[in-house]
Chain A
Amino acid sequence: MEIFSLAHLWAGIIAVAILVYVLLDGFDLGVGILFGMTRDGAKRGPMMAAIAPFWDGNETWLVVIGASLFAAFPAVYAVFLSAFYLPVLLLLVGLIFRGVAFEFRYRSERIRGVWDFGFAAGSTMAAFVQGAAVGAMMRGIPVEDGQFAGTSLEWLHPFPVLTGIGLVLGYALLGACWLVLKTEGAVADWARDMVFWMAIGVLAIVGPAIVAALTVDMSPGLTQAAARFGMLSSLGAAVGFYALLLLVACARLRLDGMLYPLGALFFAATFVALAGMMWPYMIPYTLTVQDAAAPEASLRFMLFAGVVILPVVAIYTIGVYWLFRGKVASSEEP
């Protein structure tokens, strides 16, 4: 096997895009999840305002991931989307409802509650299915002749359900960190408390998930995953764990500037730990990066998009965050 190839370059680009997506859309989905935990209109206004200029730019990274997978790893695209037929449906519906809520909740006083519910429920559902997909991937995806060979509820097991709940709490944690950064007064105080509780929640879910993996949901796939837990994964898990502990401490010490960076570090470290377990598989434990790659001619044709268009988008994204820097005004509701 070659040490470095176009397929590896594309796998790297996609991995970076996934991490960027998780760190960015993670916080705005998280704010949506937290939105469902309060009935207070005085909080809800600033919460929406804290993510309004960013959320759909964040979400487009999901499209980049999908498009890159289809172009560079069509076999992964085909297997992943058919294995997660119902979760993908839930994800799309969730994203649609939370997306239109930004617009529609200000158009109708009368049914605002409906759109607000759609916003919170859609965000929570999107986060849950993403987390469940990670858990299901670790259990392994049955593949025959390059096509998914399981049932549509294959993913629904105790372990994926726990990883799903884990990601809901994790995104809520990231969202709370973001709110501390972007809001002030009562909302920021509340968000700081939520950072603390969500971090505790994440820790509390990881335990049961490991127990579930070891006892009730022990599958051949998870045995494999455990066996593949090497150096890199250990390092990632350790860094993630300490980032979480520091996060709890910083939330209590009101070191506001530290919260989002630590939350991001926690996610990046967890991502590395997971990637270490899955590598070189893209669909565990059947399709590797090399197996699934499109022919050289396709990867080469697509290269311009990866090395020219994507960096331009990244630079622009940074510009938008710079433009909308600072805290949102605390007087809300138009």
Chain B
Amino acid sequence: MALDPLILSRLQFAFVISFHIIFPAFTIGLAAWLATVEGLRFATGRAVYRRIFDFWLRIFAVSFGLGVVSGIVMAFQFGTNWSVLAERAGPIQGPLIGYEAFTAFLLEATFFGVMLLGRDRVRPGTYLLACCMVSLGTILSSFWILANNTWMQVPIGHEVIDGRFVPTDWRGIVLGPVMLTRWLHMLLAAFLTTAICVAATGAWYVLRDIHRAEARVMLTWGLGLAAVLIPMQMFLGHLNGLYVYEHQPAKFAAIEARWKDEQPGTEVWLAWPDAARQENLLSIETPGIGSFIATGEWDAPMTGLESFPEEDRPPVVIPFFGFRIMVGMGLVMLAVSWMGTLLRVTGQLETSRWFLWVTFLAFPSGFIAVLTGWYTAEVGRQPWVIYGLLRTEDAVTPALTTTDALISLVVFVLVYGILGGFGVRYIYKLLREGPSGPSGAAPGAYGSRRPFARGDGPGVADGR
């Protein structure tokens, strides 16, 4: 593979966004989880909820900070590496990304400060409101990002004037059915990711026989929430499949590794798709049911990749495996959450050590599902950056040289490596220490107002 600005820019975007998405996926769920815990504390007044809240708030602050820092880079990349896209699609993507930035900014500037600093300065009801508003802010933030990405996947509500995409129907762009389906899918993915992490943390403490009261709450709520959410998520996933089938037939064929037109379609469960020979090796498949899975009809004709001009076909391997790994992780979450809830109800959860180990080891399942799901969606959209309208190869900055693109890629990998290394190590330390850790020695989030400016460092102004 020859290195050129196009492939380097794609690698850089993929790397930066893969790093970035981990933190929002976690913090969207954590913000909702914190609001829930604070709500429980408000309603019951039990001290255990306060300890759990304080603990997860520290982790939230660090993740939020890492998400913000890596997100700033994302915001500039459209201009630095994809300037043709920025110039031509800016009239639509600009306001969507702009609203996201303003929303996140507003959130950062107002209620997050109250959440980190204001516990002793505002009334409990106001504090709970601040927690809810922070959660709402992260949810709105995801809303705008998904509106932007959905327009790139299924562009609607625009006309082309002088090569530029000019918006004609904002309501359709922002609130279209495809957008809402994809957004809810991402939102539930974030909630599930966090629910499983909370449950896994609880399982870890029970296995080490520490923080038992807090661990019980985390297990009950984490597994319970996941158990409720995962069937909804699977249904939304199905709806997403329908939109892909309807609007992005080439991506659908790639996900299914369907090379030839078929009627009825075969469902390939697992295989090694061989792009050179355009066939599947070592295929495990069930003939005749592919059509039913996709459409609900037994003999619907299914379009294979052969029906698309070669230059319009997406890669097959990443969408094919990405989709299957995502679904696999969904099944893991289903099994863990339902089994766990069953054990919890029958009172055997905290004595079933094997299951606690399974829950603990399931902690990355949500993250893996989010990443592979996005790989499926984004790689499957290729060779288009705006599906059917603008090719990725035509969107790259014309003046960009291979050297510059290589420099920036290497720099981002190094910087994120350092940043992620320290950040993850710090989060791991917080998690290992647990809720009732020495709260005096680790004032964490309370020292100051902001994620990276927490005043357990410098003595801050005497105004406080």
Contact = CB atoms under 8 A, between A and B. Distances in A.
Nearest to B168: A297
A74 B91 contact: yes
A178 to B, nearest CB: 12
A63 B464 CA distance: 28
Given A52-B457, A70-B98, A93 B79 contact: no
Interface stretch (A201-209, A240-248, A266-274, A305-313): A305-313
Contacts of B424: none
Interface in B70-91: 72-73, 75-76, 78-80, 83-84, 86-87, 89-91
A63 B401 CA distance: 26
Nearest to B429: A107
Contacts of B283: none
Interface residues of B, number: 70
Interface in A302-334: 302, 305, 309-310, 312-313, 316-317, 320, 323-329, 331-332, 334
A148 B86 CA distance: 12
B232 interface: no
Nearest to B62: A103
B105 interface: yes
A95 interface: yes
Pick the 10 closest A-B CB pairs, nearest first. Answer: A74-B90, A81-B79, A49-B458, A71-B98, A67-B101, A71-B94, A78-B83, A106-B457, A78-B87, A70-B94
Interface in B433-453: 448-453
Contacts of B161: 295
A182 B459 CA distance: 12
A5 interface: no
A105 B415 CA distance: 17
A326 B461 contact: yes
Task: Identify which of A146, A151, A301 gathers the most chain B CB atoms within 10 Å of its CB.
Answer: A301
A79 B113 CA distance: 36
Contact of B167 (A68, A81, A298, A323): A298
Contacts of A64: 101-102, 105
Interface in A71-124: 71-72, 74-75, 77-83, 85-86, 88-89, 92-93, 95-97, 99-100, 102-107
B91 A100 contact: no
A305 B79 contact: no
A81 to B, nearest CB: 3
A63 to B, nearest CB: 5
Interface string B336-373: 00000000000000000000000000000000000000
A102 B449 CA distance: 13
Contacts of A88: 76, 80
A316 B110 contact: yes
B153 interface: no
Interface stretch (B36-44, B204-212, B403-411): B403-411
A72 B84 contact: no
A74 to B, nearest CB: 2
Given A52-B457, A86-B408, A106-B457, 14 more contacts: A45-B459, A56-B451, A74-B94, A78-B397, A82-B399, A88-B80, A92-B76, A95-B72, A96-B69, A147-B83, A302-B95, A309-B106, A317-B109, A328-B459
Interface in A154-208: 182
A229 interface: no
Nearest to A101: B452
A49 B460 contact: yes
Contacts, number: 249
Contacts of A97: 415
A334 B454 CA distance: 12
Contacts of A151: 399, 401
A232 B232 CA distance: 62
22 contacts: A48-B458, A52-B455, A56-B108, A57-B108, A66-B75, A66-B101, A67-B94, A74-B87, A86-B408, A97-B415, A100-B419, A295-B166, A298-B167, A302-B99, A305-B98, A305-B102, A317-B109, A324-B464, A328-B461, A329-B459, A332-B458, A334-B458
Contact of B72 (A46, A57, A63, A327): A63
Nearest to A54: B453
B408 A82 contact: no
Contacts of A77: 78-79, 86-87, 90, 94
A149 interface: yes
Nearest to A325: B463
B457 A334 contact: yes
Contacts of B289: none
A94 to B, nearest CB: 10
B456 interface: yes
B422 interface: yes
B400 interface: yes
Task: Identify which of B100, B401, B411, B452 gathers the most chain A CB atoms within 10 Å of its CB.
Answer: B452
Contacts of B110: 312-313, 316
A324 B461 contact: yes
Contacts of B105: 60, 63-64, 309, 313
A298 B452 contact: no
A100 B69 contact: yes
B30 interface: no
Contact of B80 (A55, A82, A100, A334): A82
A182 B83 CA distance: 42
Contacts of B93: 70
A150 interface: yes
Nearest to B82: A78
Contact of B464 (A107, A317, A323): A323
Nearest to A298: B91
Interface string B143-165: 00000000000000000010010
A53 B75 contact: no
A34 interface: no
Contact of A152 (B90, B401, B451): B401
B457 A147 contact: no
Nearest to B459: A329
A86 B167 CA distance: 32
B167 A103 contact: no
A313 B80 CA distance: 28
A97 B411 CA distance: 12
Given A49-B461, A334-B456, A312 B95 contact: no
Nearest to A148: B399
A48 B101 CA distance: 27
Nearest to B75: A66
A22 interface: no
B92 interface: yes
Given A60-B108, A78-B83, A70 B78 contact: yes
A112 to B, nearest CB: 11
B462 interface: yes
A332 B457 CA distance: 9
A96 B65 CA distance: 11
Nearest to B104: A63
A100 B422 contact: yes
A105 B457 contact: yes
